[in-house]
């Protein structure tokens, strides 16, 4: 690697007092391009958001025969000659497995932590180019979902978006798991009983095959339907006793679906300099269709959208970052 990867510990006041008791100080991975230390040049910033059950340090995990995303970025810059950038990999892990990069009373103010704490620290600690035209947000899966939410609420901060296999059209990506989650919760006697047994099981062995549907439902409920006084401070969109959908809670989830909120107000996305959407044709969570809906809605609204599909599933697709980075790196402002 010609560039440099650093791991910092960063205090995030936005996470202070979070209900899950998760740490306020978080790891943050930083990639500095070749020549950074020996120059006075300023660089644009690409913010990478990890997926559910991921973490900042997960970007550094080595897979056999495959490069990490920082290594891929370094290859694009040092070998292919693409314009350099500073890359930031913040931490959105929670005790429930992930934050959806949202502000929530149940899990914490992760959107605030990213926009104010992380980016504020980055601009103070490194030679960055300020302004939305010099900032991109990129993510996969829940990180892709986070891209939509960050631009929705902070269009003044980001001028480029690349959402890879992002959570969208909740009827397909979340609803099918509700019966599985309800069955596990029913056997455990409810949320509290399941959560206690899950903590013991994962500490002593590992997650079981039925656990993902439940922990995913709990984490999403923490993000989309927090409710004080309920177990874990969240309200599920289905009744564990019967599996019946709770319409009022489900509507709270749907209000956070990118397919809905982009259709209701596309304005935050129309001025983006780069808008990249992709998904595998065999995505196991049906995310291909949400990506198609978003691309259609935004194109009809007048946005310049690059929408791509490829023959693969949901997992192990970090190679797709090469495609979005080749597109957006040359478009980032440099002064």
Res 292: pLDDT: 98
Cβ-Cβ contacts under 8 Å for 314 (sequence gap 6 or more):
141, 165, 280, 283, 284, 285, 287
Res 334: pLDDT: 96
d(C-alpha 273, C-alpha 324), whole Å: 13
Q: What angle do CA 96, 51, 279 make, to 5 degrees?
A: 140
Res 221: pLDDT: 98
d(C-alpha 131, C-alpha 329), whole Å: 15
Cβ-Cβ contacts under 8 Å for 103 (sequence gap 6 or more):
109, 110, 111, 112
**202-207: average pLDDT:** 95
| Average pLDDT score, the chain | 97
Confidence of residue 9 (pLDDT cuts 50, 70, 90): very high
Confidence of residue 209 (pLDDT cuts 50, 70, 90): confident
Res 326: pLDDT: 98
Q: Is 207 helix (H, G, I), strand (E, B) or coil?
A: coil
Residue 226 to residues 27, 106, 235, 307: CA-CA distances in angstroms? Answer: 26, 5, 6, 33
The domains located in the chain, with CATH, are: 4-169+258-331 (3.40.50.1820), 172-254 (no CATH)
**290-296: average pLDDT:** 98
pTM for this prediction: 0.97
Confidence of residue 193 (pLDDT cuts 50, 70, 90): very high
**75-89: average pLDDT:** 98
**290-319: average pLDDT:** 98
The predicted-structure confidence for 146-162, as pLDDT tens digits, reads as follows: 999 999 999 999 999 99
- 3-state percent helix, strand, coil for the chain, nearest multiple of 5: 45, 20, 40
The predicted-structure confidence for 272-282, as pLDDT tens digits, reads as follows: 999 999 999 99
pLDDT above 90 for 120: yes
Res 294: pLDDT: 98
Confidence of residue 63 (pLDDT cuts 50, 70, 90): confident
């Amino acid at each position: 690697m010609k560039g440099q990867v650093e791991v910092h510990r960063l205090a995030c006041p936005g996470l202070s007092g979070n209900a899950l008791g998760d740490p306020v100080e978080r790891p943050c991975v930083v990639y500095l391009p070749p020549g950074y230390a020996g120059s006075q040049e300023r660089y644009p910033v690409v913010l990478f958001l990890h997926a559910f059950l991921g973490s900042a340090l997960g970007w550094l995990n080595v897979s056999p025969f495959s490069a990490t995303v920082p290594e891929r970025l370094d290859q694009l810059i040092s070998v292919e000659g693409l314009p350099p950038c500073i890359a930031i990999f913040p931490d959105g892990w929670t005790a429930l497995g992930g934050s959806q990069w949202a502000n929530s009373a149940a899990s914490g103010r992760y959107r605030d932590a990213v926009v104010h704490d992380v980016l504020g620290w980055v601009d103070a600690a490194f030679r960055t180019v300020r302004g939305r035209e010099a900032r991109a947000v990129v993510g996969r899966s829940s990180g892709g979902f986070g891209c939509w939410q960050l631009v929705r609420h902070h269009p003044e901060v980001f001028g480029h978006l690349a959402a890879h296999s992002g959570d969208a059209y909740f009827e397909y990506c979340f609803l099918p798991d509700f019966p599985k989650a309800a069955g596990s919760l029913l056997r455990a006697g409810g949320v509290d009983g399941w959560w206690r047994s899950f903590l013991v099981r994962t500490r002593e062995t590992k997650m079981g095959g039925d656990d993902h549907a439940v922990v995913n439902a709990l984490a999403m409920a923490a993000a989309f339907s927090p409710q004080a006084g309920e177990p874990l401070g969240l309200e599920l969109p289905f009744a564990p006793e019967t599996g019946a959908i709770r319409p009022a809670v489900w509507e709270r989830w749907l209000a956070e679906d990118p397919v809905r909120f982009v259709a209701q107000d596309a304005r935050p996305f129309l001025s983006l300099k780069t808008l990249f959407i992709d998904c595998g044709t065999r995505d196991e969570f049906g995310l291909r269709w949400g990506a198609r809906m978003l691309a259609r809605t935004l194109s009809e609204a007048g946005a310049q959208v690059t929408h791509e599909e490829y023959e693969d599933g949901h997992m192990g697709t970090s190679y797709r970052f090469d495609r979005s980075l080749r597109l957006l790196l040359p478009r980032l402002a440099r002064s």
